[in-house]
Structure 1
């Protein structure tokens, strides 16, 4: 339920602002409620917590919030709890990805929650096709590289998870921008026939108005994409508070993952995006290159 996730993030962002205006640390805020620091942190990042209405009121009192700020916070909290009740009644309050958490890295469910709430996703990938654009056969080959002993049943579950993520591509108001290296097209994790089908799909889906796929050719010369890790930049719609939800950058590593939210960090990634866009092929030229390579794979 996208609205529920956005409401959680909106409420958490608002409460973070109230805490910072009160010049209180996470530790001090937690101590006032006799909860752990992680509880306050999770609330502010938009994750579900065990906090209740009375505890929210106590937290606002500890922050010394004005009546106007308190009323707005409680309005957002009421909106959140109502949506939570509706989601539970529909049986989907925990998100579709909960059924697959035993098959993904511990940090990935948070990414899936954020991806499900974002209205714009920009992905930089220098090695493999981004997950939202992978065909089943290509995805199956990638899974087998990472998990060669994974059972056929669990492979199919991961394919199902990818398919459910890809529903976003057809939702109104959602946009995907992908900046990929030419190496992505030439690396061959799957058999040639699967690679040909994958590239044909990239060319086809890239014609949608809400999807932009641009390749950075090997001939591009120096650019930030050569020195920065693969990342996904997620932007979100405004919450009902009227404030913009903070942009988040997700960086997935072989061992662990990072989330960046500070403005200075986001600016670095935006500058990297600008550097890559300056040397990337146009969407039309990208499509021609992709289809040409698809034909080579099909030979």
Structure 2
């Protein structure tokens, strides 16, 4: 349930705010006060599910010296989460769709999938390959085979393709907006055989015509821009919580051997600048579709 995750994130942000303004309080001292680990409190503030009860929440509120108004607001948000928990379990959908594939993804990526599921908008920059939300099944298989040829069984290969297809259900939500910037290198890098590449580029041209999807290519002839020195990243815009507080955007930056989340304003700002730079030099959406179709024909020749 998307609402469940948003509610948890909203509650976590609210509790984080109380902790940060509380006198003589840190995440470590707060965790010790209710006799849990720092990691548990970190998960709570990030909006991840935690095995805590109302007694623990009241203990935190005591430790933070919450006012009666703050306590009432916090417990109201907590009650909302518990009610949604019950409803989700009754409907048999208390776990995200990705849980069935948890053995196929690194732990850090599960958090990204939770954020992707509830984001109202995503801006992605990809200098090397097509991002997962836009990959065709054949292209996805080709990408997976590049590094996983010896370790990945045929069954697990198809499970990962299936997981990616489930993620792409977001593209069918008219309230969800996807903005993607692809280096021309993405079109030229032969991740798969020519028919695979042609099919992938034709799909990009097709899906890019949807009202909620914007795909723009950065040609090799583009002038220097702020996105040029950035690796792969995804900026996720999150909805407003039921408390009325806006949930801050999160950047998921990927590297060759790991990934990291950036959540503080000063960390997110350089990525905003990079996006502005990409917008300034990218081909228009119409020109991008023409270019995609042109390169797809080259592969098909």
Q: In which range does the TM-score fall when normalised by the shorter chain?
A: over 0.9
The reply to whether residue 222 of structure 1 matches residue 224 of structure 2 is yes
4+ long deviations beyond 2 Å: none
3-state secondary structure, aligned to 2:7: helix
1:179-190 aligned within 5 A = 179-190=181-192
TM-superposed deviation, 1:106: 2.1
3-state secondary structure, aligned to 1:143: helix
Query: In structure 1, what is the equivalent of residue 2 of structure 2?
Result: 2
The reply to whether residue 117 of structure 1 matches residue 118 of structure 2 is yes
CA RMSD of aligned residues (A): 0.9
TM-superposed deviation, 1:254: 2.3
The reply to whether residue 93 of structure 1 matches residue 94 of structure 2 is yes
| Conserved? CA contact 1:252–1:258, under 8 Å | yes
Q: Aligned partners of 1:116 and 1:4: how far apart in 2?
A: 11
Structure 1 spans left out of the alignment, 5+ residues: none
Query: In structure 1, what is the equivalent of residue 135 of structure 2?
Result: 134
1:1-299 aligned within 5 A = 1-23=1-23, 24-149=25-150, 150-299=152-301
- Residue deviations 1:26-82, cap 9 Å, x none? 111111111111111100000111111111011101100000010000110011111
- Residue deviations 1:217-246, cap 9 Å, x none? 100021122211100100111010000001
TM-superposed deviation, 1:21: 1.5
Pairs aligned (count): 299
- Residue deviations 1:3-44, cap 9 Å, x none? 111111010011111111114211111111111111111000
Q: Aligned partners of 1:26 and 1:254: how far apart in 2?
A: 31
Q: Aligned partners of 1:187 and 1:172: how far apart in 2?
A: 31
| Conserved? CA contact 1:126–1:225, under 8 Å | no
Q: Aligned partners of 1:92 and 1:221: how far apart in 2?
A: 48
Structure 2 spans left out of the alignment, 5+ residues: none
Q: Aligned partners of 1:239 and 1:151: how far apart in 2?
A: 41
Q: What is the TM-score when the length of structure 2 is the normalising length?
A: 0.98
TM-superposed deviation, 1:91: 1.8
